[in-house]
A = this chain, B = another copy of it.
């Protein structure tokens, strides 16, 4: 039987880390002995535990240690970071380390370095001469890149469970449509105002239903009034937005009445063609043809946007990044600067962005489909608030609340 000693420090009991450590050891077929245990006498005191972990062979033990390590356990002898070169472009050494989205450190030349641009399910590349470590997706690995392998010399810091009440605790409880959504508007407005007051950035990830449900005007107002710093969407949202401005419809359905308008679905293609002829959405604005709406406000207020392609797209519009790896790269660039993300009625884009987010970013996911909110929660998005509601009335209420706050002295 192989054994190894590990240490745990901090709020390991009230953050549920200690019980999860015991669980994990037993679930993976190991055993343990508690060598030392000191519990904080008061709620602010950290605790300390020294535990002997046992596995029936080296492989089992390593598996266990790997899992414990992710929970923040320090394995005294595991400080030696191992690096191996990528065997070829877009390929990794066999036992590469797969990242979490929590802050992560590597032990390099006697020092703990924070891994830059952390993202979930990626790898760590170390630039040894420069003493720098970065998180990279597999699609950007070049042959010879030094990749962190195994678990030694890598430390993660899961965020502490907030003791104070915050709306971002919601996601922990099961996703339900029976929440007091009316009162949540105020709380989400407050979070946005605080984020902006601290000079931080808000990202809106926008699905086409925002336009379909008649909330496009509210979102345009939020962009215009400076509440949105970056916007991600797909081709469909941009087309619907243009269509609604040019013809008053979204996929041929009137934005005001919900009725199928004369000419029907054709307006969708006509809107695409107008943009094509103008060369771009920006071109359509400059030609004086597009005078309002979400895309218009982004362009006029220099709010950067990423339009990412999908195989459902008609057109697509010239601004759409049709290569999905390039689109991910563009989104990745902006994601690093934001502190609060509003995900508005889009499963595809919400999950894509959720995968890119470090765990410290706050996320509000608004969708009438509980499955979107559940999926996001299954992917381990931390600090997330899921609201199962109708974006078509939620967003206008949120806009009203934010404008009211802005007008106050």
Contact = CB atoms under 8 A, between A and B. Distances in A.
Nearest to A368: B177
A77 interface: no
Given A214-B181, A256-B183, A263-B66, A310 B348 contact: yes
A405 interface: no
Contact of A369 (B33, B256, B371): B371
A91 B277 contact: yes
B43 A22 contact: yes
A349 interface: yes
A127 interface: no
How many monomers of this chain does the complex have? 4
Contact of A390 (B28, B258, B263, B388): B388
A38 B99 CA distance: 35
Contact of A16 (B19, B370, B371): B19
B22 A266 contact: no
Contact of A177 (B272, B323, B369): B369
Given A18-B13, A31-B42, A310 B324 contact: yes
A69 interface: no
Nearest to A177: B368
A184 interface: yes
Interface in A16-37: 16, 18-19, 22-23, 25-28, 31-34, 37
Given A43-B26, A91-B273, A181 B323 contact: no
Given A138-B273, A265-B121, A396 B182 contact: yes
Nearest to A165: B259
A308 B311 contact: yes
Interface string A280-311: 00000000000000000000000000001111
Interface stretch (A104-112, A128-136, A194-202, A314-322): A314-322
B182 A213 contact: yes
A96 B263 CA distance: 13
B276 A92 contact: yes
A78 interface: no
Contact of A266 (B27, B98, B316): B98
Interface of A: 13-16, 18-19, 22-23, 25-28, 31-34, 37, 39-43, 63, 66-67, 87-88, 90-92, 94, 96, 98, 121, 123, 137-139, 163, 165, 167, 169-170, 173-185, 187, 209, 212-215, 254-260, 262-266, 268-270, 272-273, 276-277, 308-316, 318, 322-328, 331, 348-349, 351-352, 355, 368-371, 374, 377-378, 388-390, 392-394, 396-397
10 contacts: A67-B264, A91-B276, A138-B276, A178-B209, A180-B257, A180-B258, A183-B255, A183-B257, A309-B323, A323-B324
